[in-house]
Amino acid sequence: MEIIGIDLFSGAGGMSVGAELSGVNVKYALDIDKNALMTYKMNHKNTEVFHTDIRGFKASKNLNFNKNDIKIVFGGPPCQGFSSSNQKTRNKDNILNWLFIEFLRICKEINPEWIIIENVKGIIETSNGFFFEHILNSISKIGYTASYGVLNAADFSVPQIRNRVFIVASKDGIKYELPKPKKRKLITVSDAISDLPILNNGDNYFELEYKNKPCNEYQRLLRKGSKKSFNNLVTKNKELTIKRFGYIPQGGNFKYIPKRLMKNYKDISICHTGIYHRLNLDKPSIVIGNYRKNMLIHPTENRGLSVREAARIQSFPDKFHFYGSIGCQQQQVGNSVPPLLSKEVFNNIIKLYL
């Protein structure tokens, strides 16, 4: 008996990393983003990867399993339409909001023992809960018993406040219990990145020596298997942007920037609170999403985060390398499920078979 994983909408593979850490053999992965799949292939050598649109994919023609395999189909259908920061397409007309139907179509073909769906918290609220209820009803109609809940990555040894919805469904009527928050001190930004190289605005180094030895358990865990720091890439911001950074204290945002330096914004009062946010060394990070566009600032240096710093905050191990342009790498990191969070979700399935 082997527990097999099938990662749909895999992206760079954050959820797959968590699955593998829990003991799942991720046999197949699928995504339409060729840059993310390049990263996935380079880090998951034993996984067969499909670069394709899920809407034309036939599991019966492409996937093979042994009779006794326990199968888990997992993934996060695109969440842009559900995000609370995306009000324009947060409705029933956005075609991206319906790709979960294709996800469940493939689940029905594969007939796995387990289904895991991850998404942003906003999916619960979109269209007054229409989508969420529809997803739960659709899962029930294909014969699965679903459990769900909101998990905060910071409660599971990830240095980031990141709330996500997880739906876990069993074919055999098993009532899944979501993992309970760990009763321990929260991992801070300092805990996550203090050992990484010192960088400047616009630096572009694929590999560098670490600044110092690992300072804590988190750093030791993520440095395991890696002798250097990789993906030390920082967006090159304009002089005006760097000047703005200088006014913002740890934990502060755009509100600290003098209005005379923000004249290109039509109405600064309606800016999202995450814009020009400087991380606080002594607290977990805010959400690592589109951190380049949001101008997320290093806690002590007047620059944006490097790809590796963002990956550390997402809980990717240092031996996991990202590929493509700096913009592609930043997007891959921001779109990912934190591996240490997904590991906990998979652990509660694995325990049932031990």
Stretches in the chain below the pLDDT threshold 70: 79-97, 269-270
pLDDT score at 83: 46
Q: What are the tens digits of pLDDT across the range 298-311?
A: 999 999 999 999 99
Give the pairing type, strands 70-75 and 48-51: unpaired
Burial of 83 (0-12, 13-18, 19+ CB in 10 A): middle
DSSP, collapsed to helix, strand or coil, labels residue 22 as coil
- What's the CATH code, domain 189-335? 3.90.120.10
Instruction: Look at the pTM and tell me if it is higher than 0.75.
Output: yes
Active site residue 79: yes
pLDDT score at 96: 53
With CA atoms as reference, report the closest residue to 31 among 58, 45, 4, 13.
13
32: DSSP letter: S
Catalytic residue (choose from 79, 215, 271, 328): 79
Pick the CATH number of 3-180+338-353 from 1.10.10.10, 1.10.420.10, 3.40.50.150, 3.50.50.60: 3.40.50.150
Q: At what angle do helices 307-314 and 326-335 cross, to 10 degrees?
A: 10
pLDDT score at 198: 96
Which tokens go with 183?
Answer: 């009763």
Between the alpha carbon of residue 319 and those of residues 15, 241, 312, the distances in Å are: 16, 32, 11
Residue 79 CA to residue 112 CA, distance in Å, equals 23
Q: How far is CA 116 from the centre of its chain?
A: 15
pLDDT score at 300: 97
Residue 193 CA to residue 209 CA, distance in Å, equals 14
Task: Give residue 151's identity as a one-letter amino acid code.
Answer: L
pLDDT score at 301: 97
Q: Where are the domains of the chain?
A: 3-180+338-353, 189-335
